């Protein structure tokens, strides 16, 4: 029984030594980004550019979600503040109306008693 394993060359990024690993093992290393070592003991690994880009985009997405949440909270706080101020304004309007009616009632009362001009 013959066993044939295809190998692929690898060059150490640190010392430049050329060695081989099986194609299936290289494929696994590229997908998993696990580290391996050259014959001289230097740590090696393959980076997946799509995975790095994905991490960058996930980080950006998280930042944008945080920004969105902050702006939503700020808008909600401002809306609540405006509602409160509108209620305060309506309270003042009611107080002014009551004072005007009291003054008119007082004037009518004086007029009826003959005290008015």
pLDDT digits (tens, 9 = 90+) for 32-71: 889 999 999 999 988 877 877 888 999 999 999 999 999 9
Same domain membership, residue 113 and residue 94: yes
Same domain membership, residue 14 and residue 57: no
Cβ atoms of residues 44 and 26 within 8 Å:
no
Joined tokens for residue 113: 């008693």
> pLDDT tens across 90-105, in order?
999 999 999 999 888 8
Residue with token string 């740590």: 43
Domain range for 97 is: 49-117
The residues, ordered by sequence, that sit 6+ positions from 20 with a Cβ below 8 Å of its Cβ are 7, 8, 9, 10
Same domain membership, residue 117 and residue 93: yes
Q: Specify the number of domains making up the chain.
A: 2
Residue 1 has pLDDT above 90, yes or no: no
What confidence category does residue 115 fall into, taking pLDDT thresholds of 50, 70 and 90?
A: low
2 within domain boundaries:
no
Higher local confidence (pLDDT), 81 or 3 = 81
Joined tokens for residue 97: 């109306």
Bridge-based pairing of strands 43-44 and 18-22 is unpaired
């Amino acid at each position: 029984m013959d066993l044939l394993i295809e190998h692929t060359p690898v060059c150490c990024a640190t010392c430049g030594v050329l060695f081989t690993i099986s194609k299936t093992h290289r494929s696994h290393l590229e997908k998993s980004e696990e580290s391996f070592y050259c014959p001289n003991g230097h740590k090696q690994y393959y980076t997946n550019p799509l995975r790095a880009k994905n991490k960058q985009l996930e980080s950006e997405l998280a930042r944008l979600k945080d920004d969105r949440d902050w702006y939503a909270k700020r808008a909600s706080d401002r809306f609540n503040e405006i509602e409160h101020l509108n209620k305060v304004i309506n309270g003042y309007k009611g107080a002014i109306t009551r004072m005007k009616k009291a003054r008119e009632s007082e004037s009518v009362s004086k007029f009826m008693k003959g005290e008015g001009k």
